[in-house]
Amino acid sequence: MTRFTVDEANIFLSAAFKGRGAQNQVVTMEPGFAVMRLAADETHLRPGGYISGPTQMSLADSVAYMAIMTLTGLEPMTVTSNLNINFLRPCIGAAVIAEGRILKMGQALAVIEVHIRAEGAEKASSHAIVTYALPRKDA
Amino acid sequence: MTRFTVDEANIFLSAAFKGRGAQNQVVTMEPGFAVMRLAADETHLRPGGYISGPTQMSLADSVAYMAIMTLTGLEPMTVTSNLNINFLRPCIGAAVIAEGRILKMGQALAVIEVHIRAEGAEKASSHAIVTYALPRKDA
Amino acid sequence: MTRFTVDEANIFLSAAFKGRGAQNQVVTMEPGFAVMRLAADETHLRPGGYISGPTQMSLADSVAYMAIMTLTGLEPMTVTSNLNINFLRPCIGAAVIAEGRILKMGQALAVIEVHIRAEGAEKASSHAIVTYALPRKDA
Amino acid sequence: MTRFTVDEANIFLSAAFKGRGAQNQVVTMEPGFAVMRLAADETHLRPGGYISGPTQMSLADSVAYMAIMTLTGLEPMTVTSNLNINFLRPCIGAAVIAEGRILKMGQALAVIEVHIRAEGAEKASSHAIVTYALPRKDA
């Protein structure tokens, strides 16, 4: 069972971003797996009307964090150590879906695979691997 | 000599972001090398008062693009294909400096190394390698 | 249908490596997907008896190349431009299996996801994203 | 002062690789910085006579490890967690030089930047960022 629910995740995000990012919602929290949905507005677009790269990177970072919290519960000291993203094809749509799945949950590091696609699209627009450093659990 | 000046770069950024990102300024454009400065406000902070990871990723992406345009001039069809960032230490300060330097300028790809640090800090808070796909030059 | 068969792939590898790497076999070639198997010997081990990181990196690079050739046929001018690998857990066993699957087949770049595991193991020991630059198709 | 000398490093490598890799020599060990030199033979070449990608990846991994040991001394439990390499241009020559420099030495992770070039070449043939997980120091 997830240790951090969809509702808890959305309250956390809303507080962390002080009301900004209301279009940014967690929609699934299962053990080792999280899904977020971003309703895009013009601040997320790049010239040409595509969802921008930074929007996708930010979403990849967030959904990876959520995937970890399905296993750890709320853990504010968890921080990103590496993010590697490949942009595969244009991301065009009114909303973006990001799925994060844990590849490894170690003592010091968690590694999460993220697929991002425009809502309704079959193929991913980007693919990221995100590594988070976990706080030390001291006895 | 640079093929895209500091003034041209700032006009381009301002138009691309429609007035958002006024705190985001290009300060140096030399052949193969660009520097940007971001005056941070609360939208750039994460809990704890640090400059957030997504802020640094977005800045890395932008300064890499600027570094390319020092060599190509304005080239809107250039798009990010890969970004790999390592977060090295907390980024704490009122402004962030990002330096982008071309490692490779090929026919299909440009690879740029980016160092990001809090203004006044000696050590980098993050280090990124950004790859852009260049538009084909057809005869 | 694959444009490069298992037999063609093994003949190619054997010629490219001049007899070295006989333990390195292609076992599956389907459109967009390739599997290789390496029978490990002591040259592939690191202290502790694990399959070494460089062995896994080399295998990731090869299986990604094979996955491309399922779509392109033999294409010697295709070269690796980026390889990003995360080591997830120790790789212990007499043989290693690498699966490469195309994420994107573009005009200039192909991006391949690779999972590597010890034969018989359920979980991946490493996960790689490999980008190859494709030769230009001129008219 | 380095905590692991050039001589110690070469004895360690020779033992770890049981005599293979005699062409692989550590030539500089300074605090936070290491240089290795590989005298290439045909096993390091790919079709076309270039130094192969796996040869460069393996060297990047090794020199990063050496750079860490300049600060930690011999530490066999240090293991690679991520390696990201960009191939910038062909590596052609009788020997390859790899320089590793510590970007971050944390409690759990070390991040090392590696430049690889053909001996005598001015420009790097590849550039890697390597992350090692450090063993926990328990009280």
To the nearest whole angstrom, how far is the Cα of C84 from the nearest Cα of chain D?
Answer: 4
Show residues of chain B in contact with A21, CB under 8 Å: none
Global pTM exceeds 0.90: yes
Residue C44: band (very low, low, confident or very high) from pLDDT cuts 50, 70, 90: confident
Strand, helix or coil for residue C104: strand
**pLDDT tens across D20-77, in order?**
666 889 999 999 999 999 999 888 887 778 999 999 999 999 999 999 999 999 988 8
In the predicted model, is pLDDT for residue B139 greater than 60?
A: no
Show residues of chain C in contact with B81, CB under 8 Å: 109, 131
Looking at residue C136, its pLDDT comes to 80
Residue A6: band (very low, low, confident or very high) from pLDDT cuts 50, 70, 90: very high
Mean confidence (pLDDT) of chain B: 92
Cβ-contact D69, D75 below 8 angstroms: yes
Looking at residue C112, its pLDDT comes to 98
Residue with tokens 């592939």: C44
* % pLDDT > 70, chain C: 95
Does B131 contact chain D (CB < 8 Å)? yes
Looking at residue C46, its pLDDT comes to 78
Contact call for D53 and C83, based on CB within 8 A: yes
Does A20 contact chain B (CB < 8 Å)? yes
- DSSP 8-state class, residue C31: T
Looking at residue A138, its pLDDT comes to 60
User: H-type helices in A17-122, by residue range?
Assistant: 53-72
Show residues of chain C in contact with B80, CB under 8 Å: none
**Neighbouring chains of D at 3+ CB pairs within 8 Å?**
A, B, C
Amino acid letter for position C97: I
Looking at residue A139, its pLDDT comes to 47
Show residues of chain A in contact with D105, CB under 8 Å: none
Residue A110 Cα distances to A131, D79, D109, angstroms: 6, 15, 13
Strand, helix or coil for residue D72: helix
Determine the residue among D11, D52, D57, D114 to mutate to test chain C binding: the one whose Cβ has the most chain C Cβ atoms within 10 Å: D57
Q: How many CA atoms does the CB half-sphere of A127 hold within 13 Å?
A: 17
Give the pLDDT mean for A109-121: 97
Higher pLDDT, A136 or B8: B8
Contact call for B109 and C81, based on CB within 8 A: yes
**Short-list A57, A87, A61, A65, CA closest to A4:** A65
In the predicted model, is pLDDT for residue A64 greater than 60?
A: yes
Residue with tokens 């969802």: A51
Determine the residue among B79, B80, B81 to mutate to test chain C binding: the one whose Cβ has the most chain C Cβ atoms within 10 Å: B81
Residue B18: band (very low, low, confident or very high) from pLDDT cuts 50, 70, 90: low
In the predicted model, is pLDDT for residue C48 greater than 90?
A: no
Pairing of strands A126-133, B126-133: unpaired
Show residues of chain D in contact with A138, CB under 8 Å: none
Looking at residue D19, its pLDDT comes to 57
Number of other CB atoms surrounding residue A1 within 10 Å:
7
In the predicted model, is pLDDT for residue D9 greater than 60?
A: yes
Q: Tell me the two tokens of residue D131.
A: 């992350």
Looking at residue B58, its pLDDT comes to 95
Give the pLDDT mean for B7-22: 81
Looking at residue A19, its pLDDT comes to 57
Cβ-contact B57, A54 below 8 angstroms: yes
Give the pLDDT mean for A16-29: 80
* Range with lowest mean pLDDT among A42-46, C101-105, D65-69: A42-46
* % pLDDT > 70, chain A: 95
In the predicted model, is pLDDT for residue D117 greater than 80?
A: yes
To the nearest whole angstrom, how far is the Cα of C90 from the nearest Cα of chain D?
Answer: 10
To the nearest whole angstrom, how far is the Cα of A28 from the nearest Cα of chain C?
Answer: 24
Sort residue D22 into left (φ over 0), alpha (ψ -120 to 50) or beta.
alpha
Partner D, chain A 64-123, Cβ-Cβ below 8 Å: 81-82, 84, 107-109
**pLDDT tens across B85-130, in order?**
999 999 999 999 999 999 999 999 999 999 999 999 999 999 999 9
In the predicted model, is pLDDT for residue A130 greater than 90?
A: yes
Show residues of chain D in contact with C43, CB under 8 Å: 20
Mean confidence (pLDDT) of chain C: 92
Which of A16, A80, A86 is opposite residue B82, by nearest beta carbon? A86
Contact call for A18 and B42, based on CB within 8 A: yes
Which of D53, D61, D80 is opposite residue C61, by nearest beta carbon? D53
